[in-house]
Each structure stands twice: as C-alpha cells, then as structure tokens.
Chains A and B, each alone.
Chain A
Amino acid sequence: MTRKQKRLSVIAGGLAFLGVATGLTFYALGQKASYFYMPADLTTASVQPGQRIRLGGLVEKGTIQRGQGATVAFSVTDTHKSVKVTYTGILPDLFHEERGVITEGTFGPDGVFVADSVLAKHDERYMPKEVADGLKAKGVWQESKSE
C-alpha cells in the first residue's frame, strides 16, 4: 500500500469506529437519560409505569412514615400537587421536612413512586438546583428566601 492508501484506510477504520460509538451514544441517550419532573408536571407529561424518571420537590410536612425495617414513605410536593414516594434504604443526612429533595426511580402500577435513590446533592442553601428552578418557575420560591 502507498502512504496515501495506508492513511486513508486508517482514517476509514477510525471513522467506522467513531460511527459505531456515535450510534451507541445516541441509542444510550435515548434509552438511559432520565427526565426530571415536579409533581404538577406529571398531570401533563405522560410517564409510563416502569419509566425511569427523577421526581423533585419539597418533602411535604407530616408525611414521613417509617414502615417496617428500613422502608420509608413520604410525599413530594411542589405545593400544587403531591406524589407519594416509597424508598428502602438510608435517607441522606439532609433529608428533612419542607426541604428540597430529588428522588429517582419508577412509578409502580398503583401510582406510588418507588425510589431507588434519594439524592442529597445540594448547594450551600441546601436546595437542589432543579428543585429551586422548578419552584421559582411556579412562583412558589423567591431568591430572597434563600438567606
């Protein structure tokens, strides 16, 4: 092979490889990216039971119930609507009533959201960014409330 042919074959091989990787990436993005919703969004969005989503909002006051073992039930609210969530495991240290929370999981057939992770990510105001943005959009939470 000449230098040019050699180089072309290397480039062709590389492009084919990149093509496969790109295809895989887009497939994975379509399948594996999980959307973020707040309880009120769920009336308009169509979320199938079994579809993995992230549900965020505030932990509704007085709804935390500890069941047997390590299972906990609570409601996530954006003050317009609320959704019942169950979770088995250790709740993050920052999990409190009326504090922001993001849960990740799927809806069961009975309409209860079964979370497999409860995220403790937050900024210095202890409010997850997505939740803060969502509450601001709904006019519930103002910037000034943070300090």
Chain B
Amino acid sequence: MVETGHFALVLAFALSLVQTLVPLFGARLNNQRLMAVGGPVAVTGFALTALSFVALASAYASSDFSVASVWENSHSLQPLIYKITGTWGNHEGSMLLWVLILTFFGALVAAFGSNLPATLRANVLAVQGAIGAAFFLFILATSNPFIRLNPAPIEGRDLNPVLQDLGLAIHPPFLYLGYVGFSICFSFSVAALIEGRIDASWARWVRPWTLVAWMFLTGGIAMGSYWAYYELGWGGFWFWDPVENASFMPWLAGTALLHSAIVMEKRSALKIWTLLLAILTFSLSLLGTFLVRSGVLTSVHAFATDPTRGVFILCILTLFIGGSLALFALRASRLTAGGLFHPISREGALVLNNLFLTTATATVLVGTLYPLAVEAFSADKISVGAPFFNLTFGPLMVPLLLVVPFGPLLAWKRGDVFAVAQRLMVAFAAALLATLVTALFIDGASVFAALGVGLAVWLILGALTDLAVKSGVGNVAAGIMVRRLLGLPRSVFGTAFAHLGLGLTTLGIVGTLCFGTEKILSMRAGETVELSGHTLRFVGLYPAQGPNYAEDRGRFELIGVGGSPVGEISSAKRFFPVRQMTTTESGIRTIGFSQLYISLGDEGKDGSVVVRLWWKPLVTLIWGGGLMMMAGAAMSLMDRRLRVGAPSRRRKQAGAVTSSGLP
C-alpha cells in the first residue's frame, strides 16, 4: 500500500507536467483537442494524489513504523483519531495534504468549468498544473513521506503531545483549503494575463472561488486561534506570532479581493487592481507556506528544519511570484480600463476598504519579515510582537471599522452619504448610548474600552440596519416587509452576516482585553478564591492515567450564590513518557458568552499548586464572529447569481435580481 501511494505520487507529478504543457500549447495553437486534455488529466491527477494520501493515512492508522514519517510522528498507544490526524501533523504529511487540496481545486475547475471559454479553461488548468508540478517535485525531492526504514522500528516516537488534539483534525485542512483555494484566483489571473483579455465573466468566476477560499481560511484561522487559546494554557487568543501572521496576511488580502471582485463584477471597474490583488493574495499564501515550512521560524508549526527545503520553497516562491508579477507588468496595459464612478459611491467605499486592507496587510508583512531581514543583514536578533502591531495595525483597523456600515448602504456609481447617515441614525445613537453606559456604569472601564464597545455595537447594528433598510422597515406594512426581507438576494444577507460577525469579533476582543481579569496565586486543597464575582474552591490534585500519558488533574468547584457547588472545572498537567514532555490542559467553563479559564502550574514543596485564573468576558464571541463570517460567505455562495457553474444562467436573470436597486 505504501509503495502504491509512492508510485501514485510520482504519477501525479508526471500528470501535473502534462496538465501544464499540453493545454498551454493547445490554447496557444487554438487546438481544441489539446486544450481538452487539461480536464481529464486534472481529475486523474487529483485521484492519484488522493490515493497517495489515503495510502499514507492508512500507514499512520495501522502504525506501520517501517515508514520513517510514521515512526517519527506516531505511537501504537495513541488513540486512533490522533493516529489519523497525525498524517498531516508533520512536515511531509502536511505538504501532501497541501497538494491534495491543490489538485482537488484543479479537479473542481475541470468538473464545473465546462461553460468557461475553452482557452481560459485550458490556461487556468495549465497554471494550476504548474503550481502542482513544483510542489510535487518539492515533496518527492526533499520531503518524501513514503521513505522506508530498514529494519523497521518496533515502536514510534509519538506525535508531539501539543498536536494530540481535535484541533489538528480541523485547523490544518481548513487553513489549507483557504490558502490553496486562492490558487484558483491566481490561476485565473495568470490565465487572463496570458490571454491578454479580461471581462466581467472572469469576475463572476473568480468571486465564488474567492468566497470559498476565504470562508475556509476564516474558519481555519478562527479554529487555530481557539486551539492555541485552550491548548497552550496562556489564555491568549492571538499572539502576533509570525506563523499566525503568515495565515493572517492572505486573509486580509483575500478580504480585499472579495470586495474588489464585487466592483469588478457589478461595474466592470477595478479590473487590473482585482487581478493584481488575486496574484498578491496567493503570493502571500505561498509566502506563508515558505515561512512555516522552511524552518526560518521556530514554532510548533515548523516541524523540522532542513535548509534544502527552505531553499527549494524559496525557489518556488520566486518563480511564481516573480513570474506572475513580470507577466502582470508586461500585459496589464493591454487590459481595458473599467467604468467611472463618483468617489462617494459603493465603488468608492469598496476602494477605501481595499486601501485600508492592503495597507494593513503591508504593515503585517513588514512586521513579520523585518526581524528576518535584520537577522540576515546584521548580527542583531530582534522580535516584533504585539506592541508593534497594536501601534500600526490597530490605527488602520479602527477607521475601517467605522466606515463599514456605510458601504453596503451607498448606491452604486453615485451615492448620497447624508441619506445613508440618516438611515444609520438609530445605529449611531445606540452605539453612542452603549459607549456612555459602558463609561459610566461599568467599573474600571477606560475611555478606550467604552469606545471599543461603542464601535462593536455600531458594526452590529449597522449590519442589521442594512437588512432593515433594504426590506423597507418603517415604510411598508409588516407583511410586505417580511416578504421583502425573505426576497432579498442571498448575497445581501451574506454581506450583513459577515459584517455582523466582524462586529461580534470586535465585541469579543474588546470585552476580553478591556474587562478581563486574571489572578496568579498558589493554592492548597480546600482553599477558595474569588475572581470577578465567581468563587472557586480548589478540591485537590488527582492522578489519572490516559492511553499514552499520565496526568495530575486539578479539580476546582464553582461555588454558587448559596455556597453550594454548582459546577466543576478541571485543569491537568499531562506527562507523555515517550517524548518526556509535559503539557497543560486548561480548564474552561463557559458562562453565557464569557469563560472562566484555569491553568495549572507547578506543585510546590508544601503541597500547594500555582494556579492562574482568568475571567474572560465575551471571549467566545471572538470565534463566534468568525463562524458568523463563514455563514455569511456560505450564504453569498448560495446566491444563485454566484453559484459555481451558473454564469450563463445569470445573464438571463440579470434584470430580475438587483441587490442595490431596490426601492
């Protein structure tokens, strides 16, 4: 089975070369038969990669330690779920997952792209094949997951205990679906540049792919954030770690792309910019892959450091980013410019959004790469952390968030900002009220905290106002209003939900950062502690045995108003003997949208234990907002105008469905 997988991988590499060359020449010679080769080859390539992946996963599931990768990252005593997820919990396996998803997207274009212009489809598949070829070669040459050991060891070295968590089952696949999903937008852009032609149907095709990739990337980042929050035991949800930034940059650029693609689709404006943004977004995905996989950064994500890998990925990076940008420089002038619009208009608002988001991306990029540059060119080693990003990213985000509610309410072409402001009066008044109430009635609220709450309320109500205005609240009878609301295009709901999610995330961040409390103390069994009105009693430490670890579980009782326990929270120190490694399992109890978070420290000589407690108000909204954004993206995708593969149907219905032209 392992050799089958290895062989399938080599075949998939060969097919990716065919997928690159044949359709490309076919499109050049305008030969239908050569162009038609792309589709079946892409589907077959995906099938072979999937076979290869299944072969590796089954080697992991059956603990076949004759495979080096399995031996290094698995153990026979591990629960089955972690044996399977361990397939991509290491460098080699995660790269295989990367190309699996890449070929999956290529196969999707092949399957659903029958109504694309033949040359565009051929070129897209060719570019997709080229990316695949580069990464297949990378895997086969430097990171082959199928290398055997002889003699086979009896027992494996265990998966890194930090990764033995359900988070590993969700976070990497989602993140890769996002990262790699942007490759489609990249391929479409490069294909458009090769042809030197770009039209509105191009945008209609690129937008759903952007939405899909963005949706998964949002989920992947949110999941990664929550995983780090509960697994690391530090109580933080975002550390501005270079590895986090590596995923955040494509998200920011992808969000900008999502918005500029709307302008391009609706108004045929910003064509060249959208194309460039699509290239940049995937370039940032590649950069992220390089940062995480090359070993230039130290983190739990950099599984192993091997200089040849770094150099190889750097070559891929240079080839694709440099190549696509050079092509852009050569061909962009051929593309025709789009329509005109007034600065105060929906288009103008979306341009403003792009300006803020791309600048924010740039500051994150600088903050992430600057330490590497300093280290490369001088003897100094520096780190750029939260203080830098708070000073640069923060000031860029606040004005952007302030104008978000205006965007969807402005008309295309020429908007009336005063009329929009009038419609947003209620939301504004409520936000102001929330600010005042927070400042006056909540103890310890700073001015920033109060303004933060106000901003979040503004965003949330702004999103709801959009729906209310478009369904005619206050102007028409309730029955008509409900009918109108239900009749709104799904993409209007998508926008509202995504912006609502943004508001919820903001509220969660403000709540946690400004109103959270924490205590560090050493406790003995039986002692109680109070934190922000919650009383906790430390019951004691209890040893227990897991499948591949031993743990000391610290049990805490949450004491109710009457003095009797109402619930239990437990946090544990786990010791994994194979790796001689200890991890902390945090204890979390969700109360409303807030959480009590307990992290266990070292045991002292006198039997006391160091305990760190946090009260994190509204913290779950941070990730809840992320889910809401995903729901928004999903809703937009369901909009029949955007349904993948339905661009031709759209033309017939263009007159019937308009999102902004409602009375």
Contact = CB atoms under 8 A, between A and B. Distances in A.
Asked if A pairs with B, the answer is yes
A79 B599 CA distance: 33
A121 B298 contact: yes
12 contacts: A10-B351, A32-B388, A32-B391, A35-B381, A66-B604, A70-B612, A90-B601, A93-B584, A121-B299, A121-B300, A122-B298, A129-B297
A21 B604 CA distance: 49
B392 A21 contact: yes
B520 A88 contact: yes
A69 B601 CA distance: 11
A70 B304 contact: no
Given A6-B340, A90-B610, A34 B382 contact: yes
| Interface core residue of B233, B371, B395, B601 (most chain A CB under 10 Å) | B601
B164 to A, nearest CB: 14
A8 interface: no
A17 B522 CA distance: 50
8 closest A-B pairs by CB: A36-B381, A90-B601, A129-B298, A32-B387, A32-B388, A28-B391, A93-B582, A70-B520
Interface in A12-63: 14, 17-18, 21, 24-25, 27-29, 31-36, 52, 54
Contact of B362 (A3, A21, A33): A21
A61 B383 CA distance: 27
Contacts of B520: 69-70, 88-90
Contacts of A54: 383
Contacts of A14: 355
Interface in A105-147: 120-124, 128-130, 133
Nearest to B612: A90
Given A25-B366, A32-B387, A90-B520, 8 more contacts: A6-B340, A21-B363, A31-B387, A35-B381, A36-B383, A93-B581, A93-B584, A123-B305
Interface string B505-535: 0000000000000001110000000000000
Nearest to A133: B381
Contacts of B299: 121
B371 A18 contact: no
Contacts of A94: 581-582
A74 B629 CA distance: 46
B302 interface: yes
Contacts of A123: 295, 298, 302, 304-305
Interface of B: 160, 232-233, 295, 297-300, 302-305, 340, 343, 351, 355, 359, 362-363, 366-367, 370-371, 380-385, 387-388, 391-392, 395-396, 520-522, 573, 581-584, 599-602, 604-605, 610, 612
Contacts of A32: 384-385, 387-388, 391
A91 interface: yes
B610 A10 contact: no
A3 B380 CA distance: 49
A52 B300 CA distance: 25
Contact of B370 (A18, A33, A66, A130): A33
A33 B388 contact: yes
A121 B303 CA distance: 12
B383 A34 contact: yes
Contacts of A66: 602, 604-605
Given A21-B392, A24-B395, A25-B392, A93 B359 contact: no
A130 B604 CA distance: 31
- Give the secondary structure class of B's interface: mixed
A28 B160 contact: no
Interface string A88-101: 11110110000000
B233 A70 contact: no
Contacts of B395: 24
A123 B367 CA distance: 22
A32 B387 CA distance: 6
B391 A21 contact: no
| Interface core residue of B299, B382, B581 (most chain A CB under 10 Å) | B382
B371 A33 contact: yes
Given A6-B340, A54-B383, A18 B359 contact: yes
Nearest to B395: A24
Contacts of B522: 69-70
Contacts of B583: 93
| Interface core residue of A21, A34, A128 (most chain B CB under 10 Å) | A21
B553 to A, nearest CB: 15
Contacts of B387: 28, 31-32, 52
B391 A35 contact: no
A130 B300 CA distance: 15
B604 A24 contact: no
Given A90-B602, A123-B302, A130-B381, A28 B392 contact: yes
Given A32-B384, A122-B298, A69 B366 contact: no
Contacts of A17: 355, 359
A33 B298 contact: no
Contacts of B601: 70, 89-91
Contact of B391 (A3, A24, A91, A133): A24
Nearest to B366: A25
A91 B521 CA distance: 13
Contacts of A70: 520-522, 601, 610, 612
Nearest to A54: B383
A34 B385 contact: yes
Contacts of B604: 66
Contacts of B521: 69-70
Contacts of B602: 66, 90-91
A33 B299 CA distance: 19
Contact of B366 (A3, A6, A29): A29
A117 to B, nearest CB: 9
A35 B380 contact: yes
A141 B56 CA distance: 36
| Interface core residue of A52, A88, A89, A128 (most chain B CB under 10 Å) | A89
| Interface core residue of A6, A91, A129 (most chain B CB under 10 Å) | A129
B359 A33 contact: no
A21 B370 CA distance: 16
Given A17-B359, A123-B298, A90 B383 contact: no
